[in-house]
């Protein structure tokens, strides 16, 4: 007996109630293959896969995919928006103050009072966003030499 195949990007779009287009499939694949890409890099990746697409169409598709929960938008302060395909978990990010690289880090575990609002003011909290700032290994070694 063969194992069930994972859903294709087209299946995921349909499952989210979105119209399946070549551009949306290419955008979802580009985001998932990339590493916290900005809009320009995503547009370039989509163009490599399907040809011409306007920047506005990329923004519109990213908005639809983010709203549907298929991609995640992150926007570290002082940085343009970036998008990633890792969704459905409460992971956090490390951001290099020097070169701007962004990497995933699993959620803080153990006693982490900063992740629980002291007064949630009636909100139903379902996610906490934590950004760790510092220097990546490459920038750390450059600054210490």
Q: Buried (b) or exposed (e) across 115-145, using 16+ Cβ within 10 A? A: beeeeeeeeeeeeeeeeeeebbeebeeeeee
Is 107 annotated among the ligand-binding residues? Answer: no
Helices (H), the chain: 9-15, 22-33, 39-50, 55-67, 137-144
The total of other beta-carbon atoms located within 10 Å of residue 77's CB is 7
Check whether 114 is labelled as a binding-site residue: no
Strand, coil or helix: 56:
helix
Nearest to 142 by CA among 96, 103, 77: 96
Dist. CA 74–CA 92, nearest whole Å: 10
- Please report which residue ranges of 36-136 form alpha helices under DSSP H: 39-50, 55-67
- Binding site, by residue number, is 96, 99, 136, 139
- Binding site for Zn(2+), by residue number, is 96, 99, 136, 139
């Amino acid at each position: 007996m063969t194992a069930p195949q994972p859903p294709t990007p087209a299946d995921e779009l349909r499952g989210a109630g979105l119209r399946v287009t070549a551009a949306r499939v290419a955008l979802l694949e580009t985001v998932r293959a990339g590493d916290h890409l900005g809009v320009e890099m995503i547009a370039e990746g989509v163009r490599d896969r399907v040809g011409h697409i306007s920047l506005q169409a990329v923004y519109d598709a990213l908005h639809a995919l983010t709203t549907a929960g298929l991609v995640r938008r992150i926007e570290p302060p002082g940085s343009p928006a970036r998008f990633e395909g890792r969704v459905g978990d409460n992971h956090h990010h490390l951001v290099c103050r020097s070169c701007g690289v962004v990497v995933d880090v699993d959620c803080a575990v153990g006693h982490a009072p900063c992740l629980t609002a002291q007064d949630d003011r009636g909100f139903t909290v379902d996610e906490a966003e934590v950004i760790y700032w510092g220097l990546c290994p490459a920038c750390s070694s450059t600054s210490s030499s």
